[in-house]
Amino acid sequence: MTNSQPSLDLGKTAEKHSVSQLYEYALAAGKSCEIVVGDERGPMGFKACVMLNNEYFVEAVAQNKKEAKRLAGVAALDKLNIRYAQEVIPEGKSLGQQFTDLVYNHLYMYLEQFSVLRYRRKSVAAVILVSDNKPEVVSMAIGHQCLTPSHLSTDGRCLIDSDAAVLACRAFRR
């Protein structure tokens, strides 16, 4: 008996929804998969749970049922270490723009779950690991800047004094 996981061909699945990719993975792995979305809105929104082989796997919360189901699919693919279509970075962008897009996609996913953070001023710091020419966010934190933006520089002359940067570095070290 082999212990290999089925793989998804990103060339064929780049346009597919995360829920479709999750169902395809489960079918290829021979597992049953179901996404259960609650009928009643809770204090944080609608909750969707992913059940693999009739066992709880992950859950997600969003403001509407469709988004909750999509976020649950994204969370399940993330937990299974399958890169989903939103993280596929098109060729032709600069490295800085690729990093920005990748961090923005991760940030958007979390802000959908915690809408109270959406309207606050924040700074975001992320640690990005590039392996095999594929950037991946390994740590991300949201905070506020302790200095005014006029005192900050991106060329290394001034230390970026932000609690988000400190939290992201600490999370990366662990």
d(CA 82, CA 159): 36
Assess whether pLDDT exceeds 80 at residue 143: no
Report pLDDT for 168: 65
Nearest CA among 142, 168, 12, 23 for reference residue 88: 12
d(CA 33, CA 65): 18
- Between 6 and 130, residue with greater pLDDT: 130
Average pLDDT over residues 38-42: 87
pLDDT tens digits, 100-121: 788 777 777 777 776 666 666 6
Average pLDDT over residues 9-19: 56
Q: Which fold has domain 10-86?
A: Double Stranded RNA Binding Domain (3.30.160)
Average pLDDT over residues 88-95: 60
Q: Which residues pair with 13 in a beta bridge?
A: none
Sequence letter at residue 36: V
DSSP string, 11-53: HHHTTS-HHHHHHHHHHHHT--EEEEE-SS--SS-EEEEEEET
Mean pLDDT for the chain overall = 72
Domain borders along the chain are 10-86, 91-173
d(CA 157, CA 104): 26
